[in-house]
Structure 1
Amino acid sequence: MKTNIITLAHQKGGTGKSTMAWNLAVEMGKKYKKYGYKKFIFVDLDNQESVTMTNRLRMQYGQDPLEIVRFTDDERNKLEDFINSIDDDTLVIIDSGGYDADLNRLAIIASDFVITPVSSDYMEIFGLQKFKTILEELSEIKKETVRVNVVLNKIDPKLKDFSDIVDFINEIEHFKLCDTVIRFRSDYKHSIGYGFSVRELDKKSKASEEISILIKEIEKKAGLKNGKKKK
């Protein structure tokens, strides 16, 4: 089955989800034809509209903007219609809101590949416990285990041991820990100020290298290289 919808989701805010979504969308949006798709669309479900506003900056600084569609919390039916209209020639990346809502749950259920960024802070475990409950409820609706791909994000560059959060992630069947670790880098903030990805700001930076590694991991696990979803 072909991967058409990739969603970044977490019911907890402050995990760097929208920043990661932006960087993935800009860079993967340049490659969608190489993946075998004819169209690329970004869906902004976050009520803070972070990606939508960054896209406006992108246009102001002369960069080609993303094609973005937005749905508000009271437009579940419209989102459902949009999802049903997606064909095999279209790749969609969704930035869901950092809270629990019907719209965000629908995005998770409809997705072929879900990414959940978390930091190494011990408090993240409480957020993941709540998210685990949501995934359990969605699994009952979908009649299969809903799994998300967890990415350690905004990690202190000096931090080497984050075993507490890793051990918790590995114990839960709904969570699959990604190999890539994204560290806290000032380049993320600087690049967004211009509507750039970190790779567009500086291809040789550590942030750029980490995002590139994450994209390669997503390509492999989501089957984007061969046009099929990896089971």
Structure 2
Amino acid sequence: MRSNIITLAHQKGGTGKSTLAWNVAIELGLNYKKYGFKDFVFVDLDNQESVTMTNRLRMQYGQQPLYITRFTDREGEQFRNFINEIDDETLVVIDSGGYDADLNRLAIIASDYVITPVSSDYMEIFGLQKFKNILAELSALKGEGETVKVNVLLNKIDPKAKSFDDIEEFIRETKYFNLMETVIRFRSDFKHSIGYGFSVAELDKNSKATAEVKMLIKEIETKAGLINGKA
């Protein structure tokens, strides 16, 4: 079936999650009709409000803004009602907070497709270990035989780095993780584009950063069933 709730989530900050969420949201949010959806909503759960503030810059620079709705950690019931009212004709992208909280757990368990960005630093394994424990708890809530899985994306990677054996091995050996094929490298265009409220593709459609984001979108389109309807 086609996924219609896509969440970017990790229980730790500093992974580039919100920047990635912004670029994914622009690509999907401006093209949702081609996937057969009638509406698009971006949900900002991060208390840093990075995407919400970037969207304000976007309006200042004359670009078509995203429709964004926010929920704070104290608005769990409102967020639950929002999730329950979402129909299959609305595409939703969620930027969860980079910390463990009930609101962020709800976003994960309610989502059809979850992306978890991590760098290739060995220390990232410790963060994923804690996240694995959270996913195990969420799987237990869903019931016997149910496993909550996330799709781990190597993000903010040194452009010269070629091997990620340690973290890839950990991801592949953990039943709660799927390793994505796309790799997003550390590119200055991500920082520069945010300053204008642009995606990297809008800043420079021919850049290396744009090529990598386009690869990511194609992978999401296929694996989340946006194109062929099979998630």
Q: TM-score, normalised by structure 2?
A: 0.98
- Mapping for residues 119-198 of structure 1, pairs under 5 Å: 119-143=119-143, 144-198=146-200
Q: Distance in 2 between matches of 1:77 and 1:229?
A: 31
1:97 partnered with 2:117? no
Name 1:205's counterpart in structure 2.
207
1:128-170 superposed Cα distances (whole Å, 9 cap, x missing partner)? 0000000000000012100000000000000111111101100
Aligned to 1:178, the other structure's residue is in SS state: strand
Task: Give the secondary-structure state (helix, strand or coil) at the position aligned to 1:78.
Answer: helix
Pairwise mapping of residues 63-102 of structure 1 onto structure 2 (< 5 A)? 63-102=63-102
| Structure 2 residue ranges without an equivalent (≥5) | none
Confirm or deny: 8 A CA contact 1:112 1:229 kept in the other structure: no
Partner of 2:62: 62
Q: Secondary structure at the match of 1:34?
A: helix
Please give the secondary structure, in 2, of the residue aligned with 1:33: helix
For residues 68-118 of structure 1, the C-alpha deviation after alignment (integer angstroms, 9 at most, x for no partner) is 000000100000000001001100000000000000000000000000000
Query: What's the counterpart of residue 106 of structure 1?
Result: 106
Instruction: Find the aligned partners of 1:147 and 1:88 in 2 and give their Cα distance.
Output: 21
How many Å separate the matches in 1 of 2:58 and 2:31?
18
Aligned sequence identity (%) = 76
Equivalent residue for 2:40?
Answer: 40
Letter in 2 for 1:117: P
Shift in Å, 1:2: 3.0
In structure 2, distance between residues paired with 1:2 and 1:162: 31
2-structure distance, mates of 1:115, 1:29: 17
Give the gaps of 5 or more residues in structure 1.
none
| TM-score for both structures, normalised by structure 1 | 0.98
- 2:155 and 2:2 mapped to 1: Cα distance? 27
- Compute the displacement of 1:30 (Å): 1.4
- Deviation of residue 4 (structure 1)? 1.4
Matched residue type, 1:177: L
Q: Is the 8 A contact 1:45 1:95 kept in 2?
A: yes
Give distance in 1, aligned partners of 2:110 and 2:230.
14
Question: Over aligned residues, Cα RMSD in angstroms?
Answer: 0.6
Amino acid at match of 1:190: H
Moved over 6 A (4+): none
